[in-house]
Amino acid sequence: MQQPASSRELTVRGLIIGALITVVFTASNTYLGLKIGLTFASSIPAAVISMAVLRMLGGGSILENNMVQSQASAAGTISTVFAVFPALILIGHWTRFPYLETAGLTAAGGMAGVLFTIPLRRALVNDSPLPYPEGVAAAQILRAGDTQTGRGNGASGLTTLLLGTLISAVFSFFSGGLRVAADSASVVFSSGSAIFRLSTGFSMALLGAGYLVGITGGLAMLFGYILSWLIAVPWLTAITPNTDHLAPAAFATWIWMHKVRFIGAGSIALASVWTLGELAVPVIRGVKDALTSAAGVSIDKRDLSPRTIGLTGAGLFVLIAVLLTMFLLPFTSHVIVPVLFGTVFLFVFGFLTAAACGYMAGLVGSSSSPISGIVLIATILVSAFMLGMDSFGLLPAVFSENGHHLAIAFTIVVLSAVVAAAAISNDNLQDLKTGQLVGASPWKQEAVLLLGCGVGALVVPPVLNLLYQAYGFAGALPRAGMDPARALAAPQPAIISMVSTGIFERNLDWTMISAGLLLGVILIGLDRLLRRGGLALPPLAVGIGLYLPPAVSTTLAIGALIGWWLQRRTGRAQGETGPGTMIASGLIVGESLMGVALAAVSGLTGSDNALSVTGSGIAPWDTVTGCLGFLVVCWWFVARVRKTSNYI
Q: How many domains does the chain have?
A: 2
In a domain, 374, yes or no: yes
Helical (H) or strand (E) element with 187? strand 184-191
Q: Are 630 and 548 contained in the same domain?
A: yes
In a domain, 501, yes or no: no
Write out pLDDT tens, residues 563-577: 899 888 766 554 445
> What number is the average pLDDT over the span 365-374?
60
Structural domain that includes position 577: 174-277+510-644
| Domain C-terminal end among 422, 440, 471 | 471
Closest CA to 498 of 223, 269, 243: 269
Q: Please report the pLDDT score of residue 577 as a whole number.
A: 53
Q: Please report the pLDDT score of residue 23 as a whole number.
A: 79
Inform me whether the pLDDT recorded for 508 exceeds 80. Answer: no
Rounded Cα–Cα distance for residues 224 and 218 (Å): 10
Q: Are 146 and 251 contained in the same domain?
A: no
Inform me whether the pLDDT recorded for 152 exceeds 60. Answer: no
Residue 228 pLDDT grade (very low, low, confident, very high; cuts 50, 70, 90): very high
Q: Taking each helix axis from N to C terminus, what angle separates 12-36 and 550-570, rounded to the nearest 10 degrees?
A: 120
Residue 540 pLDDT grade (very low, low, confident, very high; cuts 50, 70, 90): confident
In a domain, 618, yes or no: yes
Q: Are 31 and 138 contained in the same domain?
A: yes
- For the chain, the farthest-separated pair of C-alpha atoms sits apart, in whole angstroms, at 76
Q: Are 460 and 537 contained in the same domain?
A: no
Write out pLDDT tens, residues 428-452: 777 888 788 788 888 888 888 888 8
Write out pLDDT tens, residues 86-124: 999 999 999 999 999 999 999 999 899 888 888 777 666
Least confident segment among 42-51, 517-526, 549-558, 637-646 = 42-51
Closest CA to 257 of 233, 240, 238: 233
Inform me whether the pLDDT recorded for 481 exceeds 50. Answer: yes
> What number is the average pLDDT over the span 269-278?
72
Stated pTM of the model: 0.73
Residue 522 identity: I
Inform me whether the pLDDT recorded for 473 exceeds 70. Answer: yes
Q: Please report the pLDDT score of residue 381 as a whole number.
A: 85
Q: Are 383 and 458 contained in the same domain?
A: yes
Q: Kindly provide the b/e burial profile for residues 328-366, where b requires at least 16 CB atoms within 10 angstroms of the residue's own CB.
A: beebeeebeebbebbbebbbebbbebbbbbbbbbbbbbb
Inform me whether the pLDDT recorded for 35 exceeds 80. Answer: no
Q: Are 464 and 319 contained in the same domain?
A: yes
Percent of the chain with pLDDT over 90: 19
